[in-house]
Amino acid sequence: MEKNNTVLDIQNLKLYFRTTRGTVQAVDGVDFKLKTNQAVVVVGESGCGKTSLSKAVLRLLPRNVEHYSGKVYLNDIETMSLDDEEYRKQIRWVKMSLVPQAAMNALNPVIRVGEQVAEPMSVHYGVKKEEALQQAIKMFQHVGVPVDFINRYPFELSGGMRQRVALAMALVTAPDLVILDEPTSALDVLTQANIFNLLKRIKSEMATSFVLITHDIATSSELADRVAVMYAGQIVEVADSSRFFKEPRHPYSAKLMASVPRLRGNDEPDFITGQPPSLINPPTGCRFAARCPRRFERCSEEPPVTKIGDDVVKCWLNV
Amino acid sequence: MEKEITQEKSAPQAIDQKSRDGVLLEVNDLHVWFELRRFGFGHAGYVRAVDGVNFDLKDGQTIAIVGESGCGKTSLMRTILRLNHPTKGEVIFDGKVINNLKPSELKDYRSLLGYVQQDPYGALPPFMTVRNILEEPLRVNGIKDKTELFNRVKKSLEEVKMSPAEEFMPKFPHQLSGGQQQRVVIARAMIMNPRMLIADEPVSMLDASVRVEILKLLRNLQESHNLGVIYITHDLSTVRYFSEKIFVMYAGQLIERGNVSQVLNNTKHPYTFALLEATSDPDARNALVQKEIPPGEPPSLVKPPAGCRFHPRCPHMIEGLCNVEEPPDYEPEPGHFVACWLLK
């Protein structure tokens, strides 16, 4: 029924890492859905597991994984049951691609940017080099990089241009879903606004869906249809952006929103006292309880996930 | 000891020096150019990082310098700290030209300044404990008494709300969170009781949830110590909570200067407009509209464009004027200076 227009469906995804000090529960039972041609923003403080979530979805796992489970449906294909080779052939960069964190430094410094953008086409679709380069040129035009930059090396481009190249590389295979991990955090404000203009245009022209991972709530609103708030490895709230930016439901979301300095309006920004808990031995019960201004006795028990329409919130106050 | 006295008497002193109108720092027509060399020798032009900057800072005043990376704001700050040498122009601190200070004078000068770096983890030596880090500036300035060292370190840690101070002293930087590291950096900047603080993007590396906390801490310190503060940032949304004046910098020049309300509510320069337009507030409606942002990137500082340096990107460019002659500073309202031909 509604499955048809769901591009990504994550169910109870877990990713734990083994370290010398114990098991880090970086992603601990994450559920959410994303509809086709929508953008979901995953926000949270650093160390809350946002980047691990993107790695878990794309299966780009480091060696010290202790536990990796759950279900990830991408356009009704269950990707977790595929083996690594099938996953590489069918999913990664074919259906789903990534713009990594600090993408401007993620380019290979000794290969011309044109070839780097063309590479996914030849690797995944086996097209000839010239054809792949043609495709790359098309992508360059799409993301607003002058076509004659194709023979340049990454160091010859500015940060904003490199970011666009990384984006072109993620889009060249026309995937259904692009995961953007802090795509603009290293860029200047004007460049950042230009990149978001571009992302909006691509979203409407190519019908791509986006997962945007960021800690910058103000700029995330430039792209968001849905907002997912992550805290200590768990999703504590998922809501429509129109609702979320006005009136978040979870106390953590509310505090997070209040901590955003605003250019317009007169509210004094607030801050969240204390620090997020360690993911090695997360506290029992609600993980935000220790910093929550509205905690009460029940918060020592794990709060259930409450559905309110399409939205989800994990807090005793909303039960 | 002497520092303590200067600090307590800073207010009456400002009145004494009425002739200077309480001006703490004066920057006159400052140019900082870096020579480019071909193959390590042979002249290949200059990078004009700072090109004709004028402003002054009064005792206890906070100014924000806003601009994109590469606009010269860090070079300007490093020149005020005398880490760079001015090519032309003067920096006058407390009535004294600091261009050609001798090394011994430089040490005294720098003890009057506090510097808060952008990346706290990079700014703290990883092999030193918090206590050693904070003791170092005191030792360098000749304080040897152990109890005094301990007491000053303790006091400065408490001032940045790191208590119990004794618990943090034996820790190494990696054992602290980002916010705590930045507090140590601030404590180190404050430990010599400076008269001026230079904060270079002090919160850009921190999580959103602690940014405001650190900014409030800086503001409290500024008020309680009557510090002059230069706050360097690219984020206009934090400026409002922090400073009295905003200077907007583009390609090595200050293009708009004024009080916060003048610059934010009565914006005159097209570049400042663009910066304001690009700064988002969290609002779901943002996703529905494209922003009007000037295309392109800031110019090369080796060969800046003739005339107004913003003209290649400016939507209101006047042919034959903006691309030929450099605009002078216009003053549309008292204290608000704008270098733009649109105000002619």
Task: Please give the single-letter amino acid code of residue B312.
Answer: P
- Region A249-260 average pLDDT: 92
Question: Which of residues B16 and B130 earns the better pLDDT score?
Answer: B130
CA dihedral A186→A190→A196→A199, nearest 10 degrees, is: -90
- Between chain A and chain B, how many beta carbons pairs sit less than 8 Å apart? 123
State whether the Cα torsion B301-B307-B313-B314 is positive or negative. positive
**Nearest residue to B328 (alpha-carbon basis) of B316, B342, B313, B317:** B342
pLDDT band per the 50, 70, 90 thresholds, residue A227: very high
Question: What is the SS3 assignment for B78?
Answer: helix
Chain B CB contacts of A255 below 8 Å: 209
Confidence at B38, pLDDT banded by 50, 70, 90: confident
Cβ distance of A223 and B287 shorter than 8 Å: yes
pLDDT of residue B332: 93
- Mind telling me how many Å the CA of A191 is from chain B's nearest CA? 8
CA distance A230 to B92: 50
The pLDDT-based confidence of B20 (bands split at 50, 70, 90) is low
Could you tell me if A219 lies within 8 Å of chain B, comparing CB atoms? yes
Partner residue opposite A218 with nearest CB, options B210, B237, B264: B237
Q: Hey, is the C-beta of A220 within 8 angstroms of any chain B C-beta?
A: yes
CATH number of residue B60's parent domain: 3.40.50.300
Q: Percent of chain B, pLDDT > 90?
A: 56
Summarised one tens digit per residue, pLDDT across range B99-137 is: 888 988 999 999 999 999 888 988 999 999 999 999 999
Which residues of chain A lie closer than 8 angstroms to B68, CB-CB?
188-191
B234: nearest CB among A188, A262, A264: A188
Domain membership of residue B120 (yes or no) is: no
The shortest C-alpha distance from B246 to chain A (Å) reads 14
Residue B298 belongs to some domain of the structure: yes
In a domain, B132, yes or no: no
How many domains does chain B contain in total? 1
Domain assignment of residue B99, yes or no: yes
Report the gap between the CA of A226 and the closest CA in chain B (Å): 9
Of B188, B199, B185, nearest to B227 by C-alpha is: B199
Surface of A (167-186) touching B: CB under 8 A: none
Shortest alpha-carbon distance between residue B250 and chain A (Å): 12
What is the pLDDT confidence band of residue B172, given thresholds at 50, 70 and 90? very high
Mutation target to probe the B interface, by most B beta carbons within 10 A, among A194, A244, A260, A263 is A263
The two tokens of residue B166 are 């004794």
Out of A194, A215, A246, closest to residue B208 by CB: A215
Residue B39 lies in a domain: yes
Distances (CA, A) of B75 to B29, B47, B229: 14, 11, 17
Average pLDDT over every residue of A265-276: 82
Helix residue spans in chain B (DSSP H): 2-8, 10-16, 73-80, 103-110, 120-123, 130-140, 146-159, 165-168, 178-190, 208-225, 236-239, 260-265, 270-278
- pLDDT value at residue A315: 93
Q: Quote the pLDDT of residue B9.
A: 39
Specify whether the CB–CB gap between A34 and A241 falls below 8 A: no
- CB-CB: which of B177, B210, B284 is closest to A241? B284
Give tens-digit pLDDT for B240-261.
Answer: 878 889 999 999 999 999 999 9
Which residues is A10 bridged to in the sheet?
Answer: A32, A72
Rounded to whole angstroms, how far apart are CA atoms B231 and B28? 19
Query: In a mutagenesis test of the B interface, which of A188, A197, A227 is the best target, namely the one with the most B β-carbons within 10 Å?
Result: A188
Helix count (H) and strand count (E) of chain B? 13, 12
Nearest CA in chain A to B300: A158
Q: A271 and B235 in contact by Cβ < 8 A?
A: no
Closest CA of chain B from A193, distance in Å: 5
Listed in sequence order, the residues at least 6 apart from A168 whose beta carbon sits closer than 8 Å to its beta carbon are A117, A136, A139, A140, A142, A143, A145
Is the ipTM of this structure higher than 0.90?
Answer: no
Any B CB within 8 A of A21 CB: no
pLDDT in tens, A180-224: 988 887 778 888 888 899 999 999 988 899 999 998 888 899 999
Alpha-carbon gap: A297 to the closest alpha carbon of chain B (Å): 25
Q: Which of A190, A230, A256, A279 to mutate to test the interface with B (most CBs of B within 10 A)?
A: A190
- Nearest-by-CA chain B residue for A46: B207
pLDDT number for residue B66: 92
Residues of B with CB under 8 A from a CB of A: 68-69, 177-179, 207-213, 215-216, 234-238, 240-241, 264, 274-284, 286-287, 290-291, 293-295, 297
**Residue in A closest to B179 by C-alpha:** A275
| A149 close contact with B: CB closer than 8 A | no
Instruction: Give the separation between CA A109 and CA A97, rounded to whole angstroms.
Output: 21
CB-CB neighbors (< 8 A) of A197 in chain B = 290-291, 293
Domains in chain A, ordered, with CATH? 2-95+175-318 (3.40.50.300)
Partners of A263 on chain B (C-beta within 8 Å) are: 236-237, 240, 264, 276, 279, 281
Higher pLDDT, A39 or B234: A39
Judge whether B280 lies within some domain.
yes
Q: Which residue has the higher pLDDT, B6 or A196?
A: A196
Please name the residue of chain A whose CA is at the shortest distance from the CA of residue B236.
A263
Radius of gyration of chain A (CA): 20
Percent of all residues in chain B with a pLDDT value above 70, rounded to a whole number: 94
The answer to whether position B151 is within a domain reads no
Rounded to the nearest integer, the mean pLDDT of chain B is 88
Mean pLDDT of B48-55: 92
Residues B166/B148/B129/B187 CA torsion (nearest 10 deg): 80
CB of A269 less than 8 A from some CB of B:
yes
H or E element in which residue A58 lies: helix A50-58
Contacts with B, A 96-135, CB within 8 Å: none
Nearest-by-Cβ selection for B278 from A190, A242, A275: A190
A265 — pLDDT class (breaks 50, 70, 90): confident
**What one-letter code names the amino acid at A22?**
G
Interface contact A196-B291, CB threshold 8 A? yes
- The rounded distance, in Å, linking the Cα atoms of A306 and B280 is 31
Read off the pLDDT of residues B299-319 as tens digits, 9 standing for 90 and up.
Answer: 888 888 999 999 999 999 999
Distance from CA of A225 to the nearest CA of B (A): 8
Residue B19 lies in a domain: yes
Domain limits at B278? 2-112+192-343
pLDDT mean over A126-145: 91
pLDDT of residue B12: 41
